Structure 1
Amino acid sequence: MVATVLSGVLVLGTAACEGGSEAEAQTIRIGMITNTQGPFEPPGSELRDGFQLYLDMRGGQLGGHPVELIVADEGYEAAVSIESATKLLEQDRVSAITGIINGGNVAAILPLINQHKVPLVGALGRPALTDVTYVWHTNLISVEPGVAMAPFVKQEVKDGTVFAIGPDFQGGRDELRGFVDTFTRLGGRLANPDGKAVFTPSPVTEDFRPYLDQIAASGADAIYCFFDAKSSIDFVKQYAESPVSHLPLYAAGFVTEPASLGEQGDTAEGIYNGLNYSPDLDNAANREFVAAWSAAYPGRVPTSIVMASYDAAAVLDRAIAAAGTNPSPQAINTAIAGLGQLTSPRGPWQFAKSTHSPIQKWYLRQVRRDGRALTNVVVSELGTLGG
């Protein structure tokens, strides 16, 4: 597969079709908005690779149509995402958009999505939205990791206090709000000043020592955090060398995903974290997915981001097939609404009618040693969220 860069847009390839009716099938263009450079490039590559894996497993087709996947840069500022979405919708005339790392950029491009009536099948997190007519997400709502973990943390710390910390961008604020609101509603107490989470500069904070000193001074009995891949590495390693290294560290599952875990090493061992997926889940869809991923990307462990982007392709596959011979974006959107329960590596799930996000199980994981390697092992279910 040859990648070609055209005017800042990466075209990952158009599958060739051979013979008869397949040769006559309409080519479907799918736009992917994701980070192609900078600190968010690692999750950006996971979004691309997860979607592409599904395409490769099905001969480059979705719903019986050859697919052209066009990748545009998300950037960090909303203006970059808006520019990319405008080009995909008005010049490339895509039938659907997927990807998007920063949930704030979902809200930024929403007017364009609604104007063009093209479905957005996002594959990471997003904030709550009042209008989700054309917005669907295959991963999670940004508050949910914290909501899922809060009851477990409250059970563990009992009457102790917890210091909550994360990055100052839309996703980080949502993640911490989910934890803080749920934890305090359950009777939990925060060690944070004024009972509010502490936020670190984003996209990059490299020196967390002042924040760790602040945690030490607060008298906290435990820590809860969410960070992106690069910051997760720095925070966990510096935590392990800090005056609060003896405190239990609880986290959203993104903190200990494989891209970070390899760098964190022994400092991450024992961390409890919550997420909607783990590669050790024992079901047929996950075994197929993990085997295909391992063959395509040796040495890389599939993450929840990879899984959700793979599932975004699966959603579009079924919807395009159901939308008729020459599916319009509106017909694809209508078909997504009628999909019902989906089979996935995470287990069965379906879109909630009110939020267009998954109704799904959440899992408590702990970083444990598996031979020489550290991995996230599923300990138990945290419950079902969504709806």
Structure 2
Amino acid sequence: MPRTTRSRHRRALLAGLLALGLTTASASGCAGDGGGTGSPGTIKIGLLASLSGTYQAVGTEIRDGFQLYLNNHDGKLGGHKIELIVADEGNGAPTAVPAATKLIKQDKVRALTGIVGGGSVAAVYPVLTEAKIPFVGSNGRPELKDVSRVWVTSYLSEEPGAAIAPHVRDTVKGPVYAIGPDYQGGYDELRGFTEAFAKAGGKLANPDGKTRWTPFPNTTNFTPYFAQIKASGAAAVYTFYAGSAAVDFVKQYAQSEIKDVPLYAAGFLTEGGVLNAQGEAARNIYSVLNYSPDLDNAANRSFVAAWKANHDGSPTTYAMASYDAAAVLDKAIGAAGADPTPEKINKAIEDLGQIDSPRGTWQFSKTTHSPVQKWYLRQVRQDGRALSNTVVGDLATIGG
């Protein structure tokens, strides 16, 4: 074929391809990492959660909640196929930091989600800041200096205690003993309660007026602490434990000399699989949480049905918050355009309005980047053949 004929042939072919939107650049956008102007491409999201250690059950729920959303949306967020890269947070910072560093620097994820421990969030924070990628956390979050790229779909760690403290003050006739684990999450959770309790006029039964801390993660025998509570003359106990520590605490409490002293807690004490492990020992415990699977709204009915189709038992607040993290990223990535860079995703999150959630509708606080949401009072009661965390009242709506 003469050169001029070949040139005309190439020009005609190119014009046809352009008309069909099938140029090489567009094709690479389809197969690549979200670039180009054709169909959205695959992008990477990192999920860091405790898949081993004390909070393995919590981390598993976080992973499964996010995956459930992906399963229900054809593996896509914002129209882009998602490669979800999961890493193990372990028991805290020593394992969380290298795992997060790999996700961010080697795997080059566009956003990070998950993280069980507040201490892990604080330790990973400098890596996130350096990389300038958004973090959409799905469990408690400690105080941070700059939250411009930090969002949380669950709560701030001090909020559960702050939400229930006025109710405890109005209900309990006498001083309350505060006890919890000696690490960042425990400090934040118990501070939320003790500060709000004091503001409401409540008095602690602790001899020095300060929370009693138990070494974490090594404390498995709580009997000596129950003797101290007995000696204090406490009219009730407020606590925060989760995971295997929650099972140990509740089982031993039910067999102790203070078993008849009312027990109030952040909802994680009896949440999810730990309630099954605690069994009858957990009956009548009061707790505060931002979610219960018995909430009567359309989004929750759909969520619970989808969860039960794939899992034994009901979903937890951990699964719900991670499901919502995926929903947030879905909306944000979709709004970020054909090439959803970390900066564009973060800006899109900032511009989101209300989120329709299994917990009820909520939205991000403009100052704390955490949910403005309602908190519920729950009690462990018989529900058919099993014990369940049953909502018995509404508490405060909290959000900065």
For the superposition of Structure 1 and Structure 2, which TM-score range results when normalised by the shorter chain? over 0.9
Cα shift readout 1:339-369 (whole Å, capped 9, x = no counterpart) = 1111000000000011000000000011110
Looking at structure 1, the residues matched to 243 and 96 of structure 2 have their Cα atoms a distance apart, in angstroms, of 21
Q: Does 1:94 align with 2:109?
A: yes
CA contact (8 A) 2:37 2:338 kept: no
CA contact (8 A) 1:22 1:64 kept: no
Closer, same or farther: CA 89–365 of 1 in aligned 2, 3 Å: same
- What secondary structure sits across from 2:309 in the alignment? helix
CA contact (8 A) 2:54 2:245 kept: no
Looking at structure 1, the residues matched to 249 and 110 of structure 2 have their Cα atoms a distance apart, in angstroms, of 40
Looking at structure 1, the residues matched to 145 and 248 of structure 2 have their Cα atoms a distance apart, in angstroms, of 36
Q: Offset of 1:277 from its aligned partner?
A: 0.2
Q: Does 1:335 align with 2:348?
A: yes
1:166-245 to structure 2, matched below 5 A, reads 166-245=180-259
**Structure 1: gaps of 5 or more residues:** 1-15
Segment of structure 1 superposing worse, 74-83 or 101-110: 74-83
RMSD of Structure 2 on Structure 1 (CA) = 1.6
Letter in 1 for 2:348: A
- What secondary structure sits across from 2:146 in the alignment? coil
Letter in 1 for 2:394: E
Looking at structure 2, the residues matched to 75 and 365 of structure 1 have their Cα atoms a distance apart, in angstroms, of 29
Cα shift readout 1:21-68 (whole Å, capped 9, x = no counterpart) = 999422110001111212211111001100000000000000000000
Give the structure 2 partner of residue 146 of structure 1. Answer: 161
Looking at structure 1, the residues matched to 327 and 76 of structure 2 have their Cα atoms a distance apart, in angstroms, of 11
Letter in 1 for 2:329: L
1:63-102 to structure 2, matched below 5 A, reads 63-102=78-117
Percent of aligned pairs sharing the same letter: 58
Q: Does 1:273 align with 2:287?
A: yes
Looking at structure 1, the residues matched to 218 and 184 of structure 2 have their Cα atoms a distance apart, in angstroms, of 14
| Bigger Rg over Cα | 2
**Structure 2: gaps of 5 or more residues:** 1-30
Closer, same or farther: CA 368–117 of 1 in aligned 2, 3 Å: same
CA contact (8 A) 1:258 1:375 kept: no
Q: Does 1:374 align with 2:352?
A: no
Looking at structure 1, the residues matched to 101 and 252 of structure 2 have their Cα atoms a distance apart, in angstroms, of 41
Looking at structure 1, the residues matched to 38 and 319 of structure 2 have their Cα atoms a distance apart, in angstroms, of 30
Letter in 1 for 2:188: D
Q: Structure 1-normalised TM-score?
A: 0.92
Closer, same or farther: CA 362–59 of 1 in aligned 2, 3 Å: same
Looking at structure 2, the residues matched to 212 and 372 of structure 1 have their Cα atoms a distance apart, in angstroms, of 31
Looking at structure 1, the residues matched to 92 and 262 of structure 2 have their Cα atoms a distance apart, in angstroms, of 35
Looking at structure 2, the residues matched to 372 and 300 of structure 1 have their Cα atoms a distance apart, in angstroms, of 12
Q: Does 1:383 align with 2:396?
A: yes
